[in-house]
Structure formats: structure tokens, C-alpha cells
Amino acid sequence: MSNLEQAMKAAAAALTGQEVNEIPDNLESICSFIAQNYKAQSAALFKQVEAPADALAAPTKEEFNGLIAKLKEAKIFK
């Protein structure tokens, strides 16, 4: 069994809640197994947050020019 198949078996186990030894060995069968046995998370993985108002504001001309100057100093921007 290749490293890819071993990694896919581990991923399939994590996605389905099954033991690694219960998952088939070849790649095509592993993919089919995931498709048939995937269990979605019951809760959202991420919490929605709001950015502070000043983070949403457009930069001032001075801030923008300062950023351009720093990029030029770092030779990232011409």
C-alpha cells in the first residue's frame, strides 16, 4: 500500500468515524467508502465574528503611501 493510500485511509477514518482497518485498501475503494460513509459535523466549525469598524475603513493616503514605501524598501514593489 502506498503512502497516498495510507494517508487516504487515515483521512477516511477521520471523516467517517470508522477504524482504519475497516476501510478498503485501494484508492478508488477508499474514495467510494468516504462518499458512502461521510458524516458531516453537527456544529459549525467556525464562529462568525465582526471586524472592528476601523479595520473596515479605507486606508488614508498617508497610510497607503507608507505601505508602498515599505514595499519598495523591501524590493517587493518597484
Which domain does 17 fall in, by range? 3-37
| DSSP per residue, the chain | --HHHHHHHHHHHHHH---GGGS-SSHHHHHHHHHHH----SS-SS------HHHHSPPPHHHHHHHHHHHHHTTS--
pLDDT tens per residue, range 23-66 = 999 999 999 999 999 877 777 777 888 888 777 788 889 999 99
Whole-model pTM: value is 0.50
Instruction: Please check whether residue 19 lies inside any domain of the structure.
Output: yes
Instruction: Please check whether residue 44 lies inside any domain of the structure.
Output: no
* pLDDT value for 72: 92
Instruction: Please check whether residue 59 lies inside any domain of the structure.
Output: no
